[in-house]
Structure 1
Amino acid sequence: MSARRTYRSDVSDARWALIESIFAAWREKRTGPGTAARVHELREIVNAILYVNRTGIPLGVPAARLTALQGRVQDRVRLLRQVGSGRHH
Structure 2
Amino acid sequence: KVWVDGGYQATVWRRGAQHGIDVETITRRPAEKGFRPLPRRWVVERTFGWLMQHRRLARDYEALPQRSRAMVLWAMANTMSRRLAGESTQTWRD
Larger radius of gyration: 2
| Greater share of residues in strand | 2
Q: Which fold has the larger relative contact order, with Cα–Cα distance below 8 Å and residues 6 or more apart in sequence? A: 1
State TM-score, norm by structure 1. Answer: 0.29
- Counting helix residues as a fraction of each chain, which structure ranks higher? 1
